[in-house]
Chain A
Amino acid sequence: MTTNIPVQSGTAPAGAVDGDLLVVRDLVKHFPIRKGFWSKIVGQVRAVDGVSFNVRQGETLGLVGESGCGKTTTSRMVMRAYQPTGGTIYFRDRTQGWLDIPTASANQVSGIRRNLQMIFQDPYSSLNPRMTLLDIIGEPLMVNGVAKGSELQDRVAELLRLVGLHPEYMARYPHAFSGGQRQRVGIARAIALEPQLVVCDEPVSALDVSIQAQTLNLLEDLQARLGLTYIFVAHDLSVVQHVSTRVAVMYVGRIVECAPTEDLFFSPKHPYTEALLSAVPTPDPTRRGSRIFLAGEVPDASNPPPGCHFHPRCRYAADICRTTVPPLTEIAPGHTVACHMSDQLSLTGVHA
Chain B
Amino acid sequence: MKTSTDAVRVGTPSAPRDMDTPVVLDVNDLRTHFTMPGGTVRAVDGVSYRLHRGRTLGIVGESGCGKSVTAQSILGIVPRPGKVVSGSMVLTRSDGSSLELAGLDPKGKVIRSVRGNEIAYIFQEPMSALSPIHTIGHQITEVIRLHTGANRDQARERAETVMRQVGLPRPDEVLGRYPHQLSGGMRQRAVIGIALACSPSILIADEPTTALDVTTEAVILDLVRSLQDTTGMAIQFITHNLGVIAEIADEVVVMYMGRQVERASVTDLFLRPQHPYTQALLRSMPRLGKRAQARLEAIEGMVPDPFSVPAGCAFHTRCRHYVPVRCDQPEYLEVAPGHWVRCSRAGEVA
Contact = CB atoms under 8 A, between A and B. Distances in A.
A293 B9 CA distance: 5
A288 interface: yes
B310 to A, nearest CB: 15
B288 A265 contact: yes
Given A209-B242, A312-B7, A239 B281 contact: no
B215 A283 contact: no
Contact of B12 (A239, A289, A317): A289
B247 A316 contact: no
B217 interface: yes
Given A208-B63, A318-B2, A283 B218 contact: no
A313 B85 CA distance: 52
A235 B214 contact: yes
B109 interface: no
B289 A262 contact: no
B287 to A, nearest CB: 6
B149 interface: no
Given A66-B215, A350-B288, A211 B243 contact: no
B173 to A, nearest CB: 14
B23 to A, nearest CB: 22
Contacts, number: 183
Please indicate which of the listed interface residues B10, B247, B287, B288 has the most CB atoms of chain A within 10 Å of its own CB.
B288
B297 A237 contact: no
A265 B243 contact: no
B67 to A, nearest CB: 12
B97 interface: no
A292 interface: yes
A217 B4 contact: no
B285 A209 contact: yes
Given A217-B298, A313-B7, A350 B289 contact: yes
A233 to B, nearest CB: 14
A319 B2 contact: yes
A282 B266 CA distance: 13
A268 to B, nearest CB: 12
Contacts of A323: none
Given A293-B9, A293-B219, A297-B183, A210 B62 contact: yes
Given A66-B214, A242-B286, A295 B8 contact: yes
Given A181-B302, A291-B222, A294-B219, A279 B286 contact: no
A210 B217 contact: no
Interface in B14-65: 14-16, 62-63
A235 B213 contact: yes
Interface in A181-238: 181, 208-214, 216-217, 220, 235, 237-238
A214 B285 CA distance: 10
Contacts of B298: 210, 213-214, 217
A209 B281 contact: yes
B128 to A, nearest CB: 17
Interface residues of A, number: 60
A107 interface: no
Contacts of B185: 297
A283 B9 contact: no
Interface string A131-154: 000000000000000000000000
A197 to B, nearest CB: 23
Contacts of A67: 184, 213
B143 interface: no
Interface residues of B, number: 63
B9 A280 contact: no
B240 to A, nearest CB: 6
Contact of A291 (B4, B5, B218, B245): B218
A315 B302 contact: no
B214 A237 contact: yes
A211 B4 CA distance: 43
Contacts of B242: 209, 283
Contact of B302 (A180, A275, A316, A341): A180
B11 A290 contact: yes
Nearest to B6: A295
Contacts of B246: 281-285, 288
B288 A237 contact: yes
B319 interface: no
Nearest to B244: A281
Contact of A281 (B5, B213, B217): B217
A280 B246 CA distance: 11
B222 A297 contact: no
A220 B218 CA distance: 30
A275 B183 CA distance: 20
Nearest to A344: B1
Nearest to B249: A285
A293 B12 contact: no
B60 to A, nearest CB: 9
A241 interface: yes
Nearest to B7: A295
Contact of B288 (A282, A292, A293, A313): A282
Contacts of B215: 66, 275-276, 279, 294
A5 interface: no
Given A291-B12, A293-B10, A352 B213 contact: no
Contacts of A293: 8-11, 218-219, 222
Given A213-B297, A276-B215, 15 more contacts: A67-B213, A178-B303, A209-B285, A210-B303, A213-B285, A213-B296, A238-B288, A275-B215, A276-B214, A282-B243, A282-B247, A283-B245, A285-B270, A297-B185, A314-B7
5 contacts: A209-B240, A282-B247, A285-B270, A290-B11, A291-B218
Ranked 6 nearest A-B pairs via Cβ? A281-B243, A242-B286, A213-B298, A66-B213, A279-B218, A350-B289
Interface of A: 66-67, 178, 180-181, 208-214, 216-217, 220, 235, 237-239, 241-242, 262, 265-266, 275-286, 288-298, 312-319, 341, 344, 350-352
